Amino acid sequence: MGRRKKGEGTWGEKTIHGTRYKYYRFTTEGKEKTFYGKTTKEIQIKIDEFKRQERLRQSYINVPAISFSNYILNWLNTVKSPRLKPSTFDTYENYIAAYISDFNEYNIGDEQMASINSHMFQEHINTLTKKYSKATINKTYMIIKQCLRYAYKNKDIDDDFTDMLVLPSEEVVKNKKKEIIFLSDEDMNKLYKESKRINVEGEHKRTDRLGTPFYGINAHLLVLIMYTGMRRGEMLALQWKDIDLKNNKLKVSHTASIIKNRNKTSELDDNYVRVVTSPKTKNSIRTIPLSKRAQEALKSLSANSPNHKANDFIATTKTGTYVTERNLRKTLISMLKNAECDAQKCDIHGLRHSFGSALIRQKVDVKIVSKLLGHKDVTTTYNIYIHILEEQEVEAIRVLDNIPNM
């Protein structure tokens, strides 16, 4: 007998040509649909694809009466979804929810497609300006622009007015761009020394922890970022096969991110899962030579997991669980405080750029620094470290003052 699942349709099993299959049967628009598969997950994938196609068909039956919020969600799920990485899809979905559908200060999402115009969207941008950063507004605009250009090409709207919209300058937005906090050479040394802290009597309640690393493997991972300039996603995706300690180098070729688990088949499944994908740009794929401190961090991580295999991730605890970004951040905050670093607000991203700034301070060519960091072009690097480079330019001119008078 079939069984109901979550009150929608009927689940059951059936033997076809001697093979036992699961099935899911439901009625839509007066017609019965049945999906077969060997596993529930296989059937769920078929159901999701059917629903995606149905949303695509339904979403354009009466476009003028559809709200912009529904239209852009339909566009995301049916048109854009196949072209996006899961992590990017999550970003689009979150932005649409936060800055369009649920943005109560200006309800652009409630406007019908037949009535939208440039004035509405300009007012929407102006309202966002009073509350958010330029980066947030630019990202929201970029998503809207892609959607409305599709709507125009699909003849769902009569005009593509997105190029008429004026984006705010950095000076007028509510939330100013946050300055990247770098560690000085002195702070880098302090943090490195702090990473070696051992549990001693009086600092830890459990006697079985005495003599063990105070911060666990997190400290070694943070030191590795600080002395390689990797992005945190790149570090979390790093596998032992990417490490070449014999020649003192590592290869960056992937990035890890946490995304919503859209294939949940039971309440016991995790809400979020970790995925490893190729990096955003080809420049991110690179080989990084290892300094002595980076080598040391990797050797400590290897000792923590002596039986690791080539495909194992380096950011894995002794129990085999993944290291989370949240715990890394907590460890970094604690290390900065205990080491009495001047730059208390340096985050994981700041560690990456502490590596870059240290190289710049040592007069390493900005093009080499750009390549090591995996930047798309050297302009990005220059803009990040411009204050250091400007200081070096002043020092360079002072050389003229040291030339003896003839």
Final residue belonging to a domain, choices 135, 164, 193: 164
Are residues 318 and 391 both part of a single domain?
yes
Are residues 155 and 189 both part of a single domain?
no
Are residues 294 and 145 both part of a single domain?
no
List pLDDT tens digits, range 219-243.
999 999 999 999 999 999 999 999 9
- Residue 181: pLDDT band with limits 50, 70, 90: very high
pTM of the model: 0.76
Do 313 and 239 touch, CB atoms closer than 8 A? yes
Report if residue 292 sits inside a domain.
Answer: yes
Are residues 336 and 267 both part of a single domain?
yes
Report if residue 255 sits inside a domain.
Answer: yes
CATH of the domain at 267: 1.10.443.10
The token pair at 235 is 């570090």
- Mutual orientation of helices 348-361 and 325-338 as an angle, nearest 10°? 60
Q: How many domains does the chain have?
A: 2
Are residues 155 and 214 both part of a single domain?
no
Report if residue 84 sits inside a domain.
Answer: yes
The neighbour count for residue 97, using CB atoms within 10 Å, is: 14
What's CA 172's distance to the chain center, in Å?
Answer: 27
Are residues 145 and 202 both part of a single domain?
no
CATH of the domain at 68: 1.10.150.130
Q: What is the mean pLDDT of residues 271-295?
A: 92
> What is the predicted pLDDT for the residue at 26?
83
Are residues 153 and 201 both part of a single domain?
no
d(CA 317, CA 68): 46
Residue 126, pLDDT > 90, answer yes
Report if residue 282 sits inside a domain.
Answer: yes
| Least confident residue range of 174-178, 208-212, 213-217 | 208-212
| Residue-range definition of the domain harbouring residue 112 | 60-164
Q: What is the mean pLDDT of residues 381-406?
A: 82
> What is the predicted pLDDT for the residue at 5?
45
Q: Percent of the chain having pLDDT more than 70? A: 93
Are residues 108 and 195 both part of a single domain?
no
> What is the predicted pLDDT for the residue at 99?
97
Report if residue 392 sits inside a domain.
Answer: yes
Are residues 344 and 388 both part of a single domain?
yes
List pLDDT tens digits, range 311-331.
999 998 877 788 988 999 999
- Backbone region of residue 202 per phi and psi (left: phi > 0; alpha: psi in -120 to 50; beta: other values): left
> What is the predicted pLDDT for the residue at 330?
96
Question: Mean pLDDT: which of 12-26, 183-197, 209-223, 268-282 is highest?
Answer: 183-197
List pLDDT tens digits, range 59-68.
555 677 889 9
